């Protein structure tokens, strides 16, 4: 360790899960460099402060990283810990995802008050989620169920379920496992029923691109297979210009240097759902992600996404004709931006 570097400050959101993730990284770094003082700084993001509005209406998931990235840019912290599913596909200039550790279980899980699986829930049962992706897939599978908005941290969501506000809720398996709450899970939802969010279960360690010390330090936590899988999923999302938590899902699996990527696009009500998969060399992860996205667009995904942006909330996109895909439009200002950031951004 260079003698000049004595302290490293980690920035994180203040939720129980976010702090757990940051403290896990803190422990790993202390083990790697026993003489390094590693501290954790909690930063309140805009997304944490607005809890009574669906994310799709307040600007998408970029709101959970913006303030942390700003602190990183000002030098107040040296490393930002994110859930990768919250990270836009383009980063601010000068920033980079320096490390993606081994991924936790990416699946979604159902937790029901009476221990009933998704198939056994009564008709009209009230399901809590704030995710349009989960809503669309659950309604596609069980159109008789009722979806109700559920925001808040993990503890708050579980409390609302226990109070009887919902018959069941859907959460990410990764958060429950990290906090030791596996026993609350009623059912792990198969990918055929509920495909995960892009990068769900993966952590992203973001730092300044020119910080050689932090880059070398955190590189020792890197998991190559997770990085490749996440790259495929994010390339899929970027090609679809999937902002505002639209019902887009993907999951990549690598076996023997071959990558299989599943993806889907759905209408918000779940009535229409387009899914497909692609397999190829893992070294071509980004190409495979883009190619799968193009397939879904040509199979009806373009029309589904166009309708969502035009009717569900103000559109951040200008939709071109056949083969044009989705591109950012300065003519349609919106509080709901695409996950890609404008000029000066840097991809992962």
pLDDT of residue 241: 83
Average pLDDT, integer, range 60-81: 88
Which of 52, 78, 86, 155 is the catalytic position? 86
- Two domains, one topology: 108-188 and 224-342: no
Question: pLDDT exceeding 90 applies to what percent of the chain?
Answer: 75
Average pLDDT, integer, range 292-304: 97
Give the Cβ contact number of residue 299 at 10 Å.
14
Average pLDDT, integer, range 235-250: 85
Domain boundaries along the sequence of the chain? 1-101+202-222, 108-188, 224-342
Are 105 and 201 in contact by the 8 Å Cβ rule? The answer is yes
Average pLDDT, integer, range 293-304: 97
pLDDT of residue 53: 55
Angle at 261 between CA 249 and CA 226, to 5 degrees: 90
Q: Is pLDDT at 270 greater than 90 in this prediction?
A: yes
**Position 346 confidence tier, pLDDT thresholds 50, 70, 90:** very low
Task: Give helix 16-32 / helix 212-219 axis angle, nearest 10°.
Answer: 90
Are 101 and 221 in contact by the 8 Å Cβ rule? The answer is yes
**224-342, what's its fold?**
Double Stranded RNA Binding Domain (3.30.160)
Q: Chain-wide mean pLDDT for the chain?
A: 87
Identify which has the larger pLDDT, 55 or 44: 44
Q: Is pLDDT at 245 greater than 70 in this prediction?
A: no
> What is the tens place of the pLDDT at every residue in 185-209?
999 999 999 999 999 999 999 999 9
- Reference 286, options 331, 225, 228, 222; nearest CA is 228
The yes-or-no answer on residue 155 being catalytic is: no
108-188 belongs to CATH 3.40.190.10? yes
Alpha carbon 348 to chain centroid, angstroms: 14
pLDDT of residue 258: 98
Spatial distance between the Cα atoms of 206 and 286, rounded to a whole number of angstroms:
20
Are 154 and 171 in contact by the 8 Å Cβ rule? The answer is yes
- Reference 188, options 287, 110, 133; nearest CA is 110
**Position 50 confidence tier, pLDDT thresholds 50, 70, 90:** low
pLDDT of residue 311: 75
Alpha carbon 70 to chain centroid, angstroms: 20
**Position 64 confidence tier, pLDDT thresholds 50, 70, 90:** confident
Candidate from 38-52, 139-153, 168-182, 304-318 with smallest mean pLDDT: 304-318
pLDDT of residue 20: 97
Q: Which CATH superfamily is domain 1-101+202-222 in?
A: Periplasmic binding protein-like II (3.40.190.10)
Q: Is pLDDT at 345 greater than 80 in this prediction?
A: no
**Position 26 confidence tier, pLDDT thresholds 50, 70, 90:** very high
> What is the tens place of the pLDDT at every residue in 125-180?
999 998 999 999 999 999 999 999 998 889 899 999 999 999 999 999 999 999 99
Are 62 and 339 in contact by the 8 Å Cβ rule? The answer is yes
Average pLDDT, integer, range 231-256: 90
pTM of the model: 0.86
Q: Is pLDDT at 23 greater than 80 in this prediction?
A: yes
């Amino acid at each position: 360790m260079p003698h000049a570097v004595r302290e490293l400050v980690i920035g994180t959101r203040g939720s129980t899960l976010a702090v757990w993730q940051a403290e896990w990284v803190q422990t790993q770094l202390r083990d790697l460099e026993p003489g390094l003082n590693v501290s954790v700084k909690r930063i309140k993001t805009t997304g944490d402060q607005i809890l009574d509005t669906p994310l799709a209406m307040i600007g998408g998931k970029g709101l959970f990283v913006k303030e942390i990235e700003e602190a990183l840019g000002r030098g107040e912290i040296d490393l930002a810990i994110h859930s990768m599913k919250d990270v836009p596909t383009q980063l601010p200039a000068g920033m980079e995802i320096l490390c993606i550790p081994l991924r936790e279980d990416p699946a979604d899980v159902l937790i029901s008050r009476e221990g009933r699986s998704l198939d056994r829930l009564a008709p009209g049962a009230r399901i809590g989620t704030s995710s349009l992706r989960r809503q669309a897939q659950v309604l596609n599978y069980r159109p008789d169920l009722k979806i109700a908005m559920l925001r808040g941290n993990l503890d708050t969501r579980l409390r609302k379920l226990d109070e009887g506000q919902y018959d069941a809720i859907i959460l990410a398996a990764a958060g429950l496992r990290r906090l030791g709450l596996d026993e609350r899970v009623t059912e792990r939802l198969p990918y055929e029923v509920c495909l995960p969010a892009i990068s769900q279960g993966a952590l992203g360690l973001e730092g300044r691109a020119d910080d050689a010390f932090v880059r070398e330090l955190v590189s020792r936590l890197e998991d190559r297979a997770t990085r490749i899988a996440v790259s495929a999923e994010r390339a899929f999302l970027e090609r679809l210009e999937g902002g505002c938590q639209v019902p887009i899902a993907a999951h990549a699996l690598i076996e023997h240097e071959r990558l299989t990527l599943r993806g889907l696009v759905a209408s918000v009500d779940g009535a229409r759902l387009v899914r497909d998969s692609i397999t190829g060399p893992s070294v071509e992860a980004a190409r495979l992600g883009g190619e799968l996205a193009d397939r879904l667009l040509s199979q009806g995904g373009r029309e589904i996404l166009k309708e969502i942006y035009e009717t569900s909330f103000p559109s951040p996109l200008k939709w071109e004709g056949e083969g044009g895909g989705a591109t950012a439009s300065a003519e349609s200002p919106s509080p709901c931006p695409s996950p890609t950031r404008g000029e000066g951004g840097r991809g992962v």
